[in-house]
Structure 1
Amino acid sequence: MLPVIIGIIELAGYAATAYELYRTATNAYGEVKNYQDNIKKAKDEIKKIMQNLDKEITDKIDRQREKVLLTTLTSGDKQTNTTKSASGRPQVKSNLITAAIKQKIPFRPIISQICEKADHLPMIQLRKQKGKKLKDVIPKSKVDIVAKLLKMTAQELAGANVDEYIIIRLKQLAVNFMFEFMDELLKWRSPLKAEVCFGYDIKTKKYLAPQLASQTRIKRVGSELNPFWPMPYKGKGTIGADIIIPEYRGEALTLTNIFALVEIKFQNDRIDSEQFDNYEKLKDQCANLKHTSKITASEGFKLSLFRYPEDVAFKDDQNHKNSINQKVEVKNSEYG
């Protein structure tokens, strides 16, 4: 494995660890007022660690070499038998969703590690309050802040129950933050871009390229508390991808610079066929643009569905297999 990838995997561990430290010190529901300060502390801590990492992580990679690297990592993607056979949820699958589950992708170990960290956040222990109204669990003074965390209005939050839908949103937010940390520390040239928004032109029925704050940085229009919401594009047809892997991370993320789109679904999160139909339309549009631009490509990008914990990176030991099975069984018993 090339040094740059080793460095990025290491960085993922550091990012997750630092995130773990700051959020352990503050419960999103009990000490929300410290949330922003702790995010800053986490970033500062990772930056200190980052100084000791191999400088090659942020060095510019030759375009051809980078494409070969991504292709090599994709070919070597170690999947579990569950992923290879696309077994498990959803019980009824379209051919598109089945193919997305089986799709090989680069960086599965990193995605697995980040999802595992997000799945174990102490704030996820809200499941113990399941069935109660959020307004009865959260102090009135913190309703607005928590609403922003959950991409809800204060009115919506007031009537919401503590259920798996709320918990899934917190997990996804944690994943977004960790990947965004990585991107910032790699000078916005990370090979894993979180929460990428594609607008939609109703007149032309075409998707629009992501809005950028700089050449390689995704534009965010939310608050520091939750920079991912609201999304830069609004309106009917707008879609947001959990993770985009660019073909060339040193160049702007355009519709002709997408290697893979990865949609993450935690346990009990709804897997929507319409969502993947829209991704497929985006994929076809990207393929046509690549062809028009004379960019050699047999497809627009690789479309992947990553279910956690079913589709984590394969580890050749029985304990790991048992661990995955136990996670699925426990979660099903909790929410079934």
Structure 2
Amino acid sequence: MPAPLIHLIGRIVDGAYRAYRANQTIENGKSAVELVQLVREIEQRREHIKQTLRATIEAMTQEIDTKSSTSAVVDRGGNSTVSRRGQENIEFKEYIERKVPFRPAISQVCTVALQMPIKVPRRIRKKIAGDIVETTIEIALKQFTASLFFEAVDEALEWRSPLKSEPNYNGTSKKALLGEPATRPKRFGSDIQPFWPRPKGLLAPDLVIVEYRHEPFETENVFAAVEIKFPGDWAKKNQLETYVELMTPTVGINPIKTGREKVALLRVPEDCTGFETTGKQTPVAKGNKNRR
């Protein structure tokens, strides 16, 4: 695995989990034995993520000069026979069935984010037996975790990955906000949370797949803008239509059709590679809305 990725993953995982667990240790008074177990747990998580991303990076390194559309040919699309809520699979069928290049690699990262999300403590107030009691709950940042790992892959490939994590676009001019080099998305957040806050008026699809990875991620070079939805976070028509408008060119034959065909919906885990279904609709996922 390239050295920059090892360093980056180590910083992300260690920093996030140690900060969070240190907070919990202070609150719960963990013993020395529990602290040793904590260190072991962190190391196991690091190794699991490294192994997952190693295969992803090696595959993309070998295809650095290949157009993304070439990889899309073999994709079967998502599982439009599966609905997590209501008629979701019918209402968003065209976006679910859209061919997405590198679906196996994207699925790997999203599966890790679903199974081992970075978590942060949040203080809340609950009413128990008439009394207001303060307590701490865990908030799982699944989308944030996935975005960090996609960004790690991009950095390891010297910003030539076809997968751009939450790149920013001007909502009016549709121009991409480019970093240095021009294939790197410009960020406005901090080192810990690079994706937020986002200046008003900007649009940022969860994941953008470029056609030519040596060129900037301007909308003309976008093969697919992918909206990723983890359990508890539902697809919204107005959100997808906003991205269709963003990807719609100002010239050309049938520009609206072109814009629609560039937008895809990927539900985790339903539309990930390896998800098995009998063809029947799955029960509605319950729980709090997915946090960023």
| CA displacement, residues 149-191 of structure 1 (integer Å, 9 cap, x when unaligned) | xxxxxxxxxxxxx58xx53xx1111001100110000000001
Match of 1:332 in 2: 285
What is the Cα deviation at residue 280 of structure 1?
1.2
Aligned residue among 183, 188, 201 for 1:216: 183
Amino acid at match of 2:103: R
Question: Aligned with 1:213: secondary structure?
Answer: coil
Find the partner of 1:74 among 44, 57, 72: 72
Match of 2:228 among 264, 269, 285: 264
Structure 1 CA distance for aligned equivalents of residues 186 and 12 of structure 2: 27
In the TM superposition, what is the alpha-carbon distance from 1:84 to its structure 2 partner?
A: 3.7
How far 1:258 sits from its partner (Å)?
0.5
In 1, Cα distance between equivalents of 2:147 and 2:16: 19
Distance 1:180 1:269, change over 3 A: same
- How far apart, in 2, do the equivalents of 1:332 and 1:93 lie? 13
Give the Cα–Cα distance (whole angstroms) in 2 for the partners of residues 220 and 106 of structure 1: 25
Match of 2:271 in 1: 311
- Secondary structure of the equivalent of 2:21? coil
Q: What count of residue pairs does the alignment treat as equivalent?
A: 251
Instruction: Specify the alignment match of 1:197 in structure 2.
Output: 168
Is contact 1:207–1:282 with CA below 8 Å preserved after alignment?
Answer: yes
Deviations 1:206-255 (A, max 9, x none): 42323323221111121111111122xx224x321110011111111112
Letter in 2 for 1:299: T
Higher strand share: 2
| Residue pair 1:74, 1:104 contacting (<8 A) in 2 also | yes
Q: Could you tell me how far 1:283 is from its partner in structure 2?
A: 2.2
Match of 2:158 in 1: 187
Q: Is the contact made by 2:162 and 2:213 (CA closer than 8 Å) also made in structure 1?
A: yes
1:98: how far off? 2.1
Residue matched to 2:61: 57
For 1:45-194, what aligned pairs fall within 5 Å after superposition?
57=61, 61=65, 66-67=66-67, 70-79=68-77, 83-85=79-81, 87-93=82-88, 97-121=92-116, 136-137=134-135, 162=137, 166-167=139-140, 170-194=141-165
Amino acid corresponding to residue 104 of structure 1 in structure 2:
K
Residue ranges of structure 2 left out of the alignment (5+ in a row): 25-41, 128-132
Identity across aligned pairs (percent)? 30
Q: Which residue of 2 aligns with 1:29?
A: 20
The alignment yields a C-alpha RMSD, in angstroms, of 4.4
CA contact (8 A) 2:17 2:118 kept: no
Name the structure 2 match of 1:299: 258
